[in-house]
Structure 1
Amino acid sequence: MNHPPLAGGGRAGLFLTVFVTGAAVMVIELLGTRMIAPFYGASLYVWSSLISITMIALALGYFVGGRWADRAERTGLSLVIALAGLLTLTIPWLTRPVLLATDPLGLRAGAFASAFALFLPSLTMLGMVSPFAIKLYTARIDGVGSSAGSIYAVSTVGSVVGTLVLGFFLFPFVGSREILVGLGVLLLILGLAIAVVEKKYLGNSRLLPCLFLAALAAGLLPAIVVGRSSGNDQFHIQSERESLYGWVRVIDHPANDLRVMTSDASAIGAETISNGENRLTYQNIVDALPSLAPGIRRALVVGLGAGKMANTLHERYGIATDTLEIDPAVADAAADYFGFKPRGKNIIGDARYEIRHLTGPYDLIIHDCFTGGSEPSHLLTVETLTQLRGLLSDHGIMALNFVAFYDGGRNPSLASVSRTLEQVFPHQLFFVSEPGENFNDFIFLATNHPIDIAAQGLPEAQQAWLAQRRLPLDNTGGTIITDNYNPLEHLQIAKAENYRRVVIDAFGPELMVR
């Protein structure tokens, strides 16, 4: 491996190339979750699939790229990068058909298969860049170690910068499809530029193949940048916005007088179109809570959704209510399409961080973050619940909504929630939203004092409503959920699969993909 070393400008250009392709790897990996999450949810399984596919792709790229680099006459890097650009451009074009094709595989296998089909090709080509760069950078056999270290260091720095630029600057303002298209075009331009340099300085070039790939991309571009569906004959999309946390949409079904807010594959709010009446049955328990805890003056809702519970607490009972929501897109949709009006602090931020900075006491805390296909399980640990109890007044109530199967009162997820609550609160009650249904919303009421429904000043209709929904729960088989040990997502696999199927059956699979 003895050949003339690259000049200073050549080395700088090579480092720039490695930097850009290193950034591209992380951009594609991170955007992968945003392309798949609306269909499969932003769960641990989606993240695990993307990370695994990235590692597989890089391993293949290193192996194949090394062999190709040894057989090439110091050319071919341009073609590798141009192919990576073209394959990146096809990702938004292929997302819909790939997700629909993998749907029958279920949550875990479907997420992995879709990640494999969409992202393995482009990431493999990007993984091939480093072996080529090492071959070009190394003039003598005894300099391989230094060359490899320099190339991988620059590539890693590129990955760091790409991650920060995407998360801090691009993603809050530009959609995933647009970023992928822009990245694909950038890689194609970079490949063409390297082909010109190869021809000028190395006497050989892959310029013609790179030009062909660029022409092919130009022909595909109109189909790639086609906008998302605005709905179908049954459903009309009133609003959609991609945020750091999900793909938030407001969808109308006029025939059923129904308006729904979704975040990725989770329905997080619903009302009638005609009069704005709440359509999520479990939220009707809000009507009973003021009577169960007389003297409520301050309330906190963690997980805003459409804002219906916060509105009810203020409009019907005059209770000053603070709200805490992580996603600004959800808060904006609640205000614009569901009539939510802040009556207290309207806090946008991560719950664990913001809870530490809240000042109690609250007489009522509604913890409503667990209605969707994938759950923020870190908000249901002993540590989180202890923080919430610290904000609760002595006579206060915490209401927690949780979606699961009942399974005769022996579901391990429900049992785990109950046992975890027992570690923090001395008393709890357990209710179901829709009596007779195994898959359901379940409401836990946790307090520092005992609650006797019959002894409270509840109207008879509300007493009957609660009594009809009171259920026994055996929590002996449950696991105490902590920050250190949190198996909740694993325990909820069947729930996540079923919830996703319910949502897809309701809206149709075509409406749940970009």
Structure 2
Amino acid sequence: MSHEATVTSPETNATVNTAPRTASVLAGTVFLCGVGTLGVEMIASRLLAPYFGTSQPIWAAVIGLTLVYLAVGYHVGGRIADRYPDERLLYRLVLLSGVATALIPPLAAPILGFAQRAVAHLAVGGFIGALFGVLALFAVPVTLLAMVGPFAVRLQLHRAAAGVSVAGATAGTVSAISTVGSIIGTFLTVLVLIPAIGAAATTYVYAGLLVALGALGARGWGALLALALTTALAGYTFFSSGPIKSAGCDGCTLIAEYESPYNYIQVATRQDPEYGQQVVLLLNEGLAVHSIYNTAYDGDPLDTLTGGGPWDYFAIAPFVVPGRDPASVRSLAMLGSAAGTTPAQFLAIFGPDTHIDAVEIDPMIIDVGRRFFNMRDAATGPDHPNYRVYAEDARYWLATRGGVYDVIGMDAYHQPYIPFHLTTVEFFRLVQQHLAPDGVAVVNAGLGPDGDDRLSRAIVATMEQVFPQVIVIETAHLSNQIIIGVNRNVGDGYANLLDAYARIEHPALRRTLERVYVPTRQPAATYAPFTDDRAPVERLVDSLIFDALTR
């Protein structure tokens, strides 16, 4: 027959509840709370991605504030446990953490909406305020969950016959159990739950788990009320919710959205005055269009162009080499192919047998390309037998599986940030090793407001350490620069492009060649080449953003 007793702790004169829960039950509670702690942190990053992106500064904010919450929870939890070492109080804390987690989706929506408007109007105060406002939503559940560890140590020490002589072992065991739970929570959230059911549903999986766990230990009317409130919040979220956010581009209508382990993905349509209806790909915060498909395409290469967007310029880059003929361009490696805009142009312009290896790290983007962007690679049918798509990291793939190419294009960038390992001297040396003698390495680099080209100049300074000549052209929209590295000195690259325009009869190539602009240089600045050891590319981009926001 079970019963409950209380005794007085000789160390603190506090009343200690000695409910007959076994050590294994308490260990299970610690484990599940560890799962919830890191699960909630992973949800925070996904919740922020559609509005703030997934760059290192955002991750630094998420991790840094989470550590603050954990530190506060450990300290406060230990003090409360010493004063009120009652198991029922422990489970009430777990119960409250579950309710606080359930409040995150409905409270986050208006804050994120405000953030979107703040960014649209370049309101730096509102942007930063919204970012930390969202992160503050996670303060209560994470802090409460951090209290569980020291509380469990206090309860276990009271039960242990050896008392404080096993304090180290007890604290170590509790920490280890919590850490194992956190490891499982990290991978379960990122690799299983969010891709399968989305961020909101994942939030309520953890909220339900914590509320149920707390209710089993706390019992009473409060536990029933917490269960009812969590259920009501979940129902409100699912029955009243629409898309995570509206499409970020002007005149766009959202038609599909997905969450993958890598990105928040949006597919939208819009009307273009030159090409008619287009399908566009937006990722994460939606500050840039990553792929375009013109639905009117019926085999005419002109209909694969984007009106002077950066994708068009990869096909004309080989013609900075003097006298080059379109028939000599037979291969492309596209590092960061997204939904396949540039490969589609190469196939239409240079022929369906062109050898193309396209690398995109996110398998879901590849699937979206096949479903919405008419991506017809070798895996989808016999039309393009030499067009293969790989779901891998671009640099790793090039080092382990890459061949030799006439063009190696690089557009594997999460707007507005560029993965540092794709901007370094070591990376461009690897690229050079995989170029044909007359091959070209082509990088798409975005410009800041008012043509701020500091990022472009830093990449040029790096590429000049590897390539004998680097040529920069500007796109028709004046929002991107195309940086071309060649394996030998080709003289005046701009003159070579003009000569190609006079020689080449292909309409699609001519259309883009006539939209080549020589960039107007800002005052010269010295940049140290980026290396694998030091590539402060995100700090440089942050300075561009900050300058834009504070103007």
Q: State whether TM-score is above 0.5.
A: yes
Listed as ranges, the matches of 1:41-440 within 5 Å are 41-74=53-86, 75-102=88-115, 103=118, 104-105=123-124, 109-110=128-129, 112-139=131-158, 140-196=163-219, 207-226=220-239, 227-229=241-243, 235-254=252-271, 257-266=277-286, 267-275=289-297, 277-279=304-306, 281-292=309-320, 294=324, 295-318=328-351, 319-342=354-377, 343=384, 344-370=387-413, 372-405=415-448, 411-434=453-476, 437=478, 440=479
Whole-Å separation in 2 of the counterparts to 1:52 and 1:18 = 23
- Report the equivalent of 1:25: 37
TM-score by length of 2: 0.81
Kept after mapping to 1: 8 A contact 2:318/2:440: no
Q: CA RMSD in A?
A: 3.0
Q: Deviations over 1:355-401 (max 9, x none)?
A: 11124211111111236223222211112111111111111011110
Whole-Å separation in 2 of the counterparts to 1:16 and 1:309 = 52
Q: Secondary structure at the match of 2:483?
A: strand
Kept after mapping to 2: 8 A contact 1:5/1:138: no
Q: CA deviation at 1:141?
A: 4.1
Higher deviation after alignment, 82-91 or 327-336: 327-336
Higher deviation after alignment, 163-172 or 229-238: 229-238
- Report the equivalent of 1:484: 533
Aligned residues: 487
Whole-Å separation in 1 of the counterparts to 2:137 and 2:512 = 53
Whole-Å separation in 2 of the counterparts to 1:168 and 1:222 = 25
Whole-Å separation in 1 of the counterparts to 2:261 and 2:538 = 21
Q: Structure 1 unaligned runs (5+)?
A: 197-206, 502-514
Whole-Å separation in 2 of the counterparts to 1:155 and 1:73 = 19
Kept after mapping to 2: 8 A contact 1:433/1:442: yes
Q: CA deviation at 1:172?
A: 3.6
Q: Which amino acid aligns with 2:457?
A: A
Q: Secondary structure at the match of 2:416?
A: coil
Q: Secondary structure at the match of 1:24?
A: helix
Q: CA deviation at 1:162?
A: 1.9
Q: Secondary structure at the match of 1:480?
A: coil
Whole-Å separation in 1 of the counterparts to 2:441 and 2:495 = 19
Higher deviation after alignment, 110-119 or 462-471: 462-471
Q: Which amino acid aligns with 1:181?
A: Y
Whole-Å separation in 1 of the counterparts to 2:206 and 2:362 = 26
- Report the equivalent of 1:511: none
Higher deviation after alignment, 464-473 or 319-328: 464-473
Q: Which amino acid aligns with 1:161?
A: I
1:385 and 1:499, CA in 2 relative to 1: closer, same or farther beyond 3 A? farther
Whole-Å separation in 1 of the counterparts to 2:546 and 2:106 = 26
Q: CA deviation at 1:31?
A: 1.9
Whole-Å separation in 2 of the counterparts to 1:4 and 1:473 = 72
Kept after mapping to 1: 8 A contact 2:361/2:394: yes
Kept after mapping to 1: 8 A contact 2:445/2:455: no
Kept after mapping to 2: 8 A contact 1:241/1:248: yes
Q: Secondary structure at the match of 1:229?
A: coil
Q: Secondary structure at the match of 1:62?
A: helix
Kept after mapping to 2: 8 A contact 1:373/1:499: no
Q: Structure 2 unaligned runs (5+)?
A: 1-8, 298-302, 378-383, 503-509
Kept after mapping to 2: 8 A contact 1:36/1:111: no
Whole-Å separation in 1 of the counterparts to 2:549 and 2:418 = 13
1:181 and 1:371, CA in 2 relative to 1: closer, same or farther beyond 3 A? closer
1:106 and 1:281, CA in 2 relative to 1: closer, same or farther beyond 3 A? farther
Q: Deviations over 1:410-452 (max 9, x none)?
A: x4322211111011111110111136x5xx2110010111233
Q: Secondary structure at the match of 2:476?
A: coil
Q: Secondary structure at the match of 1:458?
A: helix
Q: Which amino acid aligns with 1:485?
A: R
Q: Secondary structure at the match of 1:459?
A: helix
Higher deviation after alignment, 490-499 or 111-120: 490-499
Alignment partner of 1:449 is 2:470: no
1:4 and 1:78, CA in 2 relative to 1: closer, same or farther beyond 3 A? closer
Q: Secondary structure at the match of 1:373?
A: coil
1:476 and 1:394, CA in 2 relative to 1: closer, same or farther beyond 3 A? farther
Relative contact order, higher structure (CA 8 A, sep 6+):
1
Kept after mapping to 1: 8 A contact 2:85/2:154: no
Whole-Å separation in 2 of the counterparts to 1:341 and 1:210 = 55
1:416 and 1:141, CA in 2 relative to 1: closer, same or farther beyond 3 A? same
- Report the equivalent of 1:200: none
Whole-Å separation in 2 of the counterparts to 1:53 and 1:283 = 39
Q: Secondary structure at the match of 2:470?
A: strand
Kept after mapping to 1: 8 A contact 2:81/2:151: yes
Whole-Å separation in 2 of the counterparts to 1:416 and 1:341 = 36
Whole-Å separation in 2 of the counterparts to 1:331 and 1:495 = 31
Q: Secondary structure at the match of 1:341?
A: coil
Q: CA deviation at 1:473?
A: 6.7
Q: Deviations over 1:53-99 (max 9, x none)?
A: 11111111122222322332513011100111111112222222122
